[in-house]
Each structure stands twice: as C-alpha cells, then as structure tokens.
A and B are shown apart, each in its own frame.
Chain A
Amino acid sequence: MIRLKVSDPHTRLLMAMTVAVFLAMSLLKPGVFLSWNNLRSISFQFPEFALLALAVSVTMLTGGIDLSIVSTALLAASAGAILQTQVFENPSSLAATGLAVAAIFAVGALCGGVNGALIVHLRIPPILATLGTMQLFSGLTIAVTGGTALYGFSDRFLFLGNSSILGLPVPLVIFVLLAGLTGLLLTRTGFGFKLYLLGGNPRAARFSGINSAQILLRTYILSGVLASFAGLIMAARSNSVNADYGASYLLLSILVAVLGGINPDGGFGRISGLVLAVLSLQFIASGLNMLRFSSFAKDLVWGGLLLVVLAVHQAVKNRRNRATGPLVAEDKR
C-alpha cells in the first residue's frame, strides 16, 4: 500500500534528484542561486504551473486526464477580470475583489463540473471530453475577452500574485496550502481511498459498490477549482488575462505529473512526488538560466529528464519481469 509507506523508490529517487540539483546549483553559483532574491523569484514563478500540474494529477489518479486545465484557468480568470475591470465602480473594494475571486472559483468548479458530467453521464472518454472542452473553454475565453488582453485589476487583487505574507510570497502560500489539502484529501479521507481504488480498476470499483460517478464528478470539479487558482495567480501576477497565456503549460504539467510518479493509467502516485518533481524542475530551470543557457534549454532538459527517469524505471522493471515472468504468467487465468 504505497500511501501508507513513508516513501517508495520513486519518491526517494525524486528526493535525491531534487537535493542533487539544489546542491549542484548552489555550488556552481553560490552567490546567485542561494540568494534570497532568486529563491523568492522561484517561489513566485512556479505555483501557477504547479497548481496546473496538481489539477491534472488528480484526474490522472482516476485513470483519466484533464486537457482543459489551462483553458479552465483562463476562462475563470477572465470572469474575474471582467468583474474587476467592467462591473464595479470601485474594483479595489473588498467586496469587489472578493466577488471576483469567488467568480473565478465558481467558473473553475463549473468547468470541472462540465467535464465531469460529460465523462460520467455521457460516458465520453476523459481524453476526448476534455480535448473538446479545452477548445470550448478557450474559445469562450477569446469570446468574452474579445480576443485581446484584459488589463486593470485592482491593487487588492494584484496583492494575491505579487505580495508576501510574513516574507512568504502569496502564490507560494496558496500552493502549499492547496497541495497540503489535496494530499490530505487523497491519503486520509474516504474520498481519496475510493479514488485510488477507482483509478486502479474502475470495473471492480463499480462492483464493490463504490459510487464512481460521484467520485469522478468531484475529482473533475476539484481539478477545475485547482486550475482556477492557477488562473487567479496568473491574472494577479501579470495584471492581465490573455487567451494565449500559458499555452505551453498543458503538456508541461502532464510531463511534471508523470515525472512526479503519477501513473497515467490511474491508481498510483503521490502528491509529495509531484511537489518534488516541480521543485527539482524549477531549480533546474533557474540554474540553467544563471549558467546563461537560453531559456529553451529548460525544455530540452525537462524532456530529457522525463525520458531518462522513465527508461531507468522500465529497464529495472523489465529485468525483474524477465526473472519472474513465466511464473507470474502461469498464475494468470
């Protein structure tokens, strides 16, 4: 039972990797990498992206996927932007900001609900359903923003993306809270217990009386809400909403999820692994930047890393299978 153990081989590997990257960067560029400024800027940068990875991960645990996370984030953010820039006389008031934030979550939950309903009630495979809603939501984003960027959030709203509480960047605080809550939800509650089982074998879950429809619906709503938090941070950080923002985030967040040990077939993977993967990738990106590599070297290293890690895993697994394979096969019915 992987969730009860303190760590599994994959998490240990990730932990070692994260520490190694951190140490290497600290040694290579001691003054710069370890500087307060750099760590601060890292903590502002990665949460929006990490939240998207978190959003896609929960759906991958059920054996599904959510390709609409970025579109959801942007649609939600544009709802907030419209409230902030066009509706209220005094957008900086607590009420206006609060309503904008609430609208963002509501749209996120709604988008997730639409995905969930398509998957649960119309039984459309998740990859197709969310491929469709990805287009749908991003089309709607362009429609409501009129194809241009929306500017002019209130200061109070911008606080959520650019300020610090007790020296900790607000986006980081939001991410830590949400990652912790999601982790708790997955490992310690009945919902999580059932979600992992559902991801492991949906058919057996149905026969076991697990209410799969309810769990799937809630999972996709959770994914939508997590994505909408990412949208909130994106909007607050850049003071704008633009339908083209974060286009490369989708495939990257799936990449991070897989690197973090989330099994795309469902049933296995831990939030801690995901967080470690995000951290080590962010350290690498930041380090490469300091070593004066082009910003695109990041893509190269991330993609390469994913392939290497998976290849090593697979090689180990294949060798183990070859040793015991035929006996296991003998047991097959």
Chain B
Amino acid sequence: MYQDFDQKHIPSELIRIEGVSKSFSGVQALREVSFSIAPGQVHGLVGENGSGKSTLIKILAGVLSPDRGALFFDGQPFRSVSPKRAIRKGIQVIYQDFSLFPNLSVAENIALVSEVARGAWRVDRRRVRELATRGVRLLGVELDLDALVENLPIFQWQLVAIARALVQQARLIIMDEPTTALTRIEVDSLLKVIRSLRDSDIAVLFVSHKLNEVCNVADRLSVLRNGSVVANLDSKPFDPLGVAELMTGRPPGGRTVRDRPDDRRVLLSVSNLARQGAYSDVSFDLQEGEVLGITGLLGSGQTELAMGLSGLLPAETGRIELDGKDAVIDGIQSALDLGIAYVPEDRLREGLFPKHSVLENLLAASVERSCGFLSFIDFQKFKGIATAWVERLSIKTSSLDLPVETLSGGNQQRVVLAKWLSTEPRVLVLNNPTAGVDVGSKTEIHGILQQLAEQGCGIIIVSDDLPELLENCDSIRVMSKSRLSERLTAEATGEDQLYRMLIGEVH
C-alpha cells in the first residue's frame, strides 16, 4: 500500500494515479503522470491541445490502459480496466459532445445508461421516471423530463449529462472542456452546480484550457505539458497568468495593441442596421486599421450581426457605407465582392474541408471569383498562390496535397485565416478566432491580426473571451438584446467592468 505522505490535510483519497505512461506508435502521449483526487474535491486539469489530457481521460474511463504505472481506487489497485468496470467504480466521463441521444426524451437520456448497466432488458417506465426525477433533484435544477433532448438549448444538454452521471452513483465526474459551448452566465451556473456536487462528496475532474474558469472552481490543479505533469498546485488562489506560463512554458503575452492614431479614415460605416429576430438598430464606424471587439451573452445577436455584415444573415433595413459609398450586402457573394470576409467560429464544420488538401482549402474562398463556371483552372497558378500563403502565415505542412485534417489545430486555424486573407479583404470579421486553439498558436494568430490592422485592414473580432478582446482591440462594444452599446476604448476598460456590462449591471 502506498502512504498518503504528501496529503496530510486531505481526509482520504478517491483515486490516485501513479507514474502512468502511455505511448502510441512511438509517440509518448503521457510520461510518468501522478496525482490524486479526494472525495468532494474539484480537481482542475489544464494543458494545451495535444498535451495528453484526452489520453489521460481515456485511461481513467477505462477506454485505454496505461503502458506503465498504476491506478488506485479507494486505495485498492485498479487493474484490468474497462469502461464497464470504471463505470461500476463510479467514474463518469462527460465528454465535450455530451454523448446524449437527441432523439430520446430527457427522462430516458438520464435513466438509460444506468438501466443498461444494471442489466435490465425490459423497459420499466415508472423506474425510468423515478431515476430521472432523482437525477434532476440531485442536481437541483428544473428540467422538462418529457422534452426531446434535441429541442433543448445546449446548456441543458450539459445538465442532462450531469444528471445522468449522478443517477449512476458517480463518485468521480470527469468533465472534458465543459464550458466550450456555454456563455458566461451559463458557465457561472455550471460552476455553481459543480460546487454543489462538492458538498455531496462527489469528486470532479475539471479538464479545460480556459484558465480563468479552472482557477475559479478548482480546489487543486494539475498542469500537463507534453504529456508530463509540470505542476500539482495544492492551494487556492491560483494565478491564471502563472498557470498559463506553466502550461506553455513561455511567459504570457501582454497587450499586443500598439498605439494607433484615433483619427484614421472611416472604412466601414453602419447605421440602423436591423434584421428581424437577429439584430436591431446597429450603428458603428470602423476605421482603417482599427480592431473592433464585439462581445455579448449567447443569443444577444453578436454572431448574427457578424453574419449580417458578411451576407450570411443580410440586414433587412439600415445602411452600410464602405469608403463613404453606399454598399448593398444581400448575400455572401456581395460581401466578398465588397471585400468583407467572415471567419466562422467552428473550424472543422464551417471553416475547413477536413479531408481535402491544404491547397484546396486555401483556395476555397477565392475560387468562386477567380474561376468561372466553365473556365479552366490554372493549377500552376493555384500552387503558387497556396505556397505563398503557407510561407506568409508559416503554416507547418510537409505538402500542399496533405488533407488539412492531419494538421494541428493551430495550423488549421491559420489555413482558415489564409483562405479568407486570399480574398484580399478590406474588412475581416472573425467569430471567436481562437476557440479551441492552444495558447501558443493563439498568440501567433493575434500577431497576424495586428499585422493586418497595421496594413490598414479593418478588423472586427466577435468573441466571448474578454481577455482576448482587451488584449487585441482598440475599441470594444457590448451587444445585448440585439443592440450594440457605445464605443469603449480598451485601455480605459477593465475586464471586471466589461463583465458587469455584459450581464447588464452597468449601461
């Protein structure tokens, strides 16, 4: 038996990981990872993409078994792991996609797994109902048990997934990037739910790369870098900047905006722009070389506005002027013709053609205009253009013919950027440009944006990452209830003030 020599202040430990290593075809994914989690404790696990978080989750869930090292549960060695055995021990994983069944009811989603695990073959509707009611009560929330999950907002998917874990007598709930799809308010309620779990002695492993949230909710923190635990932090408060440095191995970047004159030519001028049910009465000016940040709670209309400017959700009324001339944006084509490009948030689904080559991806946005219906393609020219972009944005790929999905997340995002930059936009609208991108690439993408602004391109960043906006933007506007606030200068605004504006405490 191992002794708890380093955890005197913790009552007992639920699970302990000792020297776990794992490699895939020669690549070391995890190296001598050790830490332990106590009951009723929220343990944060942070690391960049590719640092080994997912592998570690899979080992805990019994999907993978470690090459070396051991797991202990309740002090007992936990061998020959399998998903079923892990679940029986009370280990529950809530994956990023929630693993719910959209076509089934909330009640069934909550009860299904535990009923199947029990070995039941006959559907006992009363029991399903009881289980679901119990799960929702344990969670302390209200949910319509008869609703189909596909009709619920995404935040409630999260709640259903947690309720499902609870009815399975979970003792450790592993949450994989649980806040990705949530707005700030929803994140706050999720963190509240997690704290209430702590009171019923359930341990939570909170896996995320959003440092503010982790530092806020976690009791202890483990930092993964390149498959190794570089730090186990035992006591609050945690300093997000310090943790970021541990995670990346680099000092964090500060404010990247350099001083810019505030009186440049107005590039884009929007007045009283509106679209029913999307955005209303939107007016603002964007100067040449200005970086404008727009933020808001989910459903406030900021994504819709971004899609409106880029022709995906065109405005019904209002006026847009580009270079002082009236401009009509009634579709993505007309926006592109005017030089307005939109970089969507969801890289894999909206930004890229994952199985197609880097070359095809790089040219996807410009081909519509550079190449007519029956006109022949000059592949030499295409290759030249693509090569130039690969060099300019230092995209790491061994060949232009490689499927873009084989590139790393950061490089994929650069391909998306290059794809849009190749249309030579005057105005670039970006929606959460660094979501799911590791800290290193994030900094580089910010650098690229600043460079573009330097060259006179007007940039609009729609993001709910407040530090990102404060670091990168000359001015920030908050969107709430489909309307846009007054212009705030980034220097004069703190994150705290911005957040309070966001939730509507200050106007």
The number of inter-chain residue pairs (CB within 8 angstroms) is 124
> Does A36 lie at the interface of the complex (its beta carbon under 8 Å from any beta carbon of B)?
no
> Does B490 lie at the interface of the complex (its beta carbon under 8 Å from any beta carbon of A)?
no
The 9 closest A-B pairs by CB, nearest first: A190-B371, A1-B357, A200-B353, A333-B436, A208-B364, A208-B365, A209-B332, A201-B353, A1-B401
Cβ contacts under 8 Å, B49 to chain A = 330-331, 333
Cβ contacts under 8 Å, B276 to chain A = none
A326:B349 contact, CB within 8 angstroms: no
Q: A190-B367, A193-B371, A211-B333 are in contact. Are A327 and B27 (CB under 8 A)?
A: yes
Shortest CB–CB separation between residue A330 and chain B, in angstroms? 5
In the complex, given contacts A189-B374, A332-B54, what are 12 additional A-B residue pairs having Cβ atoms less than 8 angstroms apart?
A: A189-B373, A189-B376, A189-B377, A193-B367, A203-B349, A204-B353, A204-B364, A207-B350, A210-B364, A268-B355, A326-B54, A326-B55
Least CB separation from A198: chain B residue: B353
A188:B367 contact, CB within 8 angstroms: no
Residue interface bits B43-65, CB-to-A below 8 A is 1, else 0: 00000011010110010000010
B436:A326 contact, CB within 8 angstroms: no
Interface residues of A in 174-230 (CB under 8 A from B): 185, 188-191, 193-194, 196-197, 200-201, 203-211, 218
Checking B25, B50, B368, B408 against A194 with a beta-carbon cut-off of 8 angstroms, the contacting residue is: B368
A326:B64 contact, CB within 8 angstroms: yes
Least CB separation from B177: chain A residue: A333
Checking A194, A267, A268, A331 against B367 with a beta-carbon cut-off of 8 angstroms, the contacting residue is: A194
Checking A190, A200, A201, A327 against B24 with a beta-carbon cut-off of 8 angstroms, the contacting residue is: A327
Shortest CB–CB separation between residue B290 and chain A, in angstroms? 24
A323:B25 contact, CB within 8 angstroms: yes
Which residue among B24, B354, B375, B376 has the maximum number of chain A CB atoms within 10 Å of its CB?
Answer: B24
> Does A166 lie at the interface of the complex (its beta carbon under 8 Å from any beta carbon of B)?
no
Alpha-carbon distance A324/B351, docked complex (angstroms): 25
Checking A4, A5, A206, A323 against B332 with a beta-carbon cut-off of 8 angstroms, the contacting residue is: A206
> Does B167 lie at the interface of the complex (its beta carbon under 8 Å from any beta carbon of A)?
no
Least CB separation from B63: chain A residue: A326
B54:A209 contact, CB within 8 angstroms: no
Alpha-carbon distance A190/B49, docked complex (angstroms): 36
Q: A205-B364, A327-B29 are in contact. Are A4 and B356 (CB under 8 A)?
A: no
Cβ contacts under 8 Å, A211 to chain B = 333, 368
Residue interface bits B402-414, CB-to-A below 8 A is 1, else 0: 0000001100000
Least CB separation from B351: chain A residue: A204
> Does A329 lie at the interface of the complex (its beta carbon under 8 Å from any beta carbon of B)?
yes
B359:A207 contact, CB within 8 angstroms: no
Cβ contacts under 8 Å, A331 to chain B = 49-50, 408-409
Shortest CB–CB separation between residue B142 and chain A, in angstroms? 31
Checking A190, A197, A203, A218 against B356 with a beta-carbon cut-off of 8 angstroms, the contacting residue is: A197
A210:B55 contact, CB within 8 angstroms: no
A204:B367 contact, CB within 8 angstroms: no
Interface CB pairs A-B, < 8 A, 25? A1-B360, A189-B374, A190-B368, A190-B372, A190-B374, A190-B377, A193-B360, A193-B363, A197-B353, A197-B356, A197-B360, A200-B355, A203-B349, A203-B350, A204-B351, A204-B353, A204-B364, A209-B333, A211-B368, A218-B373, A267-B356, A326-B58, A330-B55, A332-B54, A333-B49
Alpha-carbon distance A188/B377, docked complex (angstroms): 6
Least CB separation from A214: chain B residue: B373
Least CB separation from A1: chain B residue: B357
Least CB separation from B369: chain A residue: A209
Interface residues of B in 348-405 (CB under 8 A from A): 348-357, 359-360, 363-365, 367-368, 370-377, 379, 400-401
Dominant SS at the A interface? helix
> Does B194 lie at the interface of the complex (its beta carbon under 8 Å from any beta carbon of A)?
no
Checking A189, A207, A325, A330 against B312 with a beta-carbon cut-off of 8 angstroms, the contacting residue is: A207
Cβ contacts under 8 Å, B336 to chain A = 209
Interface residues of B in 222-236 (CB under 8 A from A): none
B377:A210 contact, CB within 8 angstroms: no
Interface residues of B in 326-343 (CB under 8 A from A): 332-333, 335-336, 342
Shortest CB–CB separation between residue A270 and chain B, in angstroms? 14
Checking A4, A190, A201 against B379 with a beta-carbon cut-off of 8 angstroms, the contacting residue is: A4
Cβ contacts under 8 Å, B355 to chain A = 200, 267-268
Shortest CB–CB separation between residue A87 and chain B, in angstroms? 34
Least CB separation from B180: chain A residue: A333
Cβ contacts under 8 Å, B31 to chain A = none
Interface residues of A in 300-333 (CB under 8 A from B): 323-327, 329-333
A207:B55 contact, CB within 8 angstroms: no
Interface residues of A in 143-201 (CB under 8 A from B): 185, 188-191, 193-194, 196-197, 200-201
Cβ contacts under 8 Å, B354 to chain A = 200-201
Shortest CB–CB separation between residue B356 and chain A, in angstroms? 5
Checking B58, B64, B409 against A333 with a beta-carbon cut-off of 8 angstroms, the contacting residue is: B409
Checking A185, A194, A333 against B348 with a beta-carbon cut-off of 8 angstroms, the contacting residue is: A333
Cβ contacts under 8 Å, A193 to chain B = 360, 363, 367, 371, 377
Cβ contacts under 8 Å, B96 to chain A = 333
Cβ contacts under 8 Å, A203 to chain B = 349-350
Cβ contacts under 8 Å, A205 to chain B = 353, 364
Least CB separation from A201: chain B residue: B353
A189:B50 contact, CB within 8 angstroms: no
Shortest CB–CB separation between residue B320 and chain A, in angstroms? 18
Cβ contacts under 8 Å, B312 to chain A = 206-207
A208:B419 contact, CB within 8 angstroms: yes
Cβ contacts under 8 Å, A194 to chain B = 367-368
> Does B344 lie at the interface of the complex (its beta carbon under 8 Å from any beta carbon of A)?
yes
> Does B16 lie at the interface of the complex (its beta carbon under 8 Å from any beta carbon of A)?
no
> Does B347 lie at the interface of the complex (its beta carbon under 8 Å from any beta carbon of A)?
yes
Cβ contacts under 8 Å, B409 to chain A = 331, 333
A267:B436 contact, CB within 8 angstroms: no
Q: A1-B359, A209-B365 are in contact. Are A324 and B377 (CB under 8 A)?
A: no
